Amino acid sequence: MESYLTDKIDPRDIFLKGKHIILKVLTREDVVDTNWYGWFNDEELCQTLQKHYFPNTMESQLAFWETNILNASDKIQLGICRIEGGPIVGIVSLNRIDFINRKAEFSAVIGDRKAQNVIIFTEACRLLFNHGFYTLNLNRIYGASISRDLVLMMCRMFNCREEGVLRQEIYKNGNYYDAYYYGLLREDFPKPQ
């Protein structure tokens, strides 16, 4: 397998491909050769995430990968890469996949500051929503954030709906924050052409 230094992605790891990004299978090399674990030690990046409570190490990220990603049956977690290759710049996932009720929880983080833009985020969401609805046959994808602005953006960009607020749900940086929930139904997500 070629190193990330060559800016190539092993074609066998490409799971979904868009116009600007690739969603790839997360490998041991992604843990070892990128700053994935370091993202969760970045206090500023984690301001709206439920991360940065305890230090994250490469060893703990490897353990997480082995336990929660490698053979997961209720989760799809993928690395976001630029279409031209290179290391992962973020992570996107469907968690708690429930095949009886046909729903899953969505989460995403763009850890590489140079990749934090609407194009990468939007395409990653769209690719995974499409996969969830039209490959996994899900009916509902939902998520939450302490950032109401993020939830409103999800509503504008993807036709999500605000579904409620859990008051003082999240403790972060000395304060309790409300958690804003959103959901997207398959019938409200435009089917790809």
pLDDT in tens, 24-76: 999 999 999 999 999 999 999 999 899 999 999 999 999 999 999 998 999 99
**Which residue carries 């674990």 as its tokens?**
37
Region 150-179: what's the mean pLDDT?
A: 96
**Cα–Cα distances in Å, from 152 out to 50, 92, 124, 140?**
19, 19, 18, 18
Reply yes or no on whether the pLDDT at 2 is more than 50. Answer: no
Please tell me the total count of domains within the chain.
1
- pTM, two decimals, is 0.92
What is the rounded average pLDDT for all residues in the chain? 93
Taking a C-beta distance cutoff of 8 angstroms, is the pair 93, 106 a contact?
A: yes
Q: With beta carbons less than 8 A apart as the criterion, state whether 123 and 19 touch.
A: yes
Q: Is the pLDDT of residue 163 over 90?
A: yes
92 assigned to some structural domain:
yes
29 within a domain of the structure (yes/no): yes
Average pLDDT (2-12) is: 64
Predicted pLDDT of residue 133: 97
In a domain, 117, yes or no: yes
Q: At what angle do helices 118-134 and 148-158 cross, to 10 degrees?
A: 60
162 within some domain: no
The answer as to whether 77 is a domain residue is: yes
Token pair in block for residue 56: 């994250």
Q: Specify if 38 maps to a domain.
A: yes
DSSP 8-state code for residue 125: H
d(CA 154, CA 109): 14
Containing structural domain, residue 34 = 4-143
| Confidence tier at 7 by pLDDT (50, 70, 90) | low
- CATH no. for residue 44? 3.40.630.30
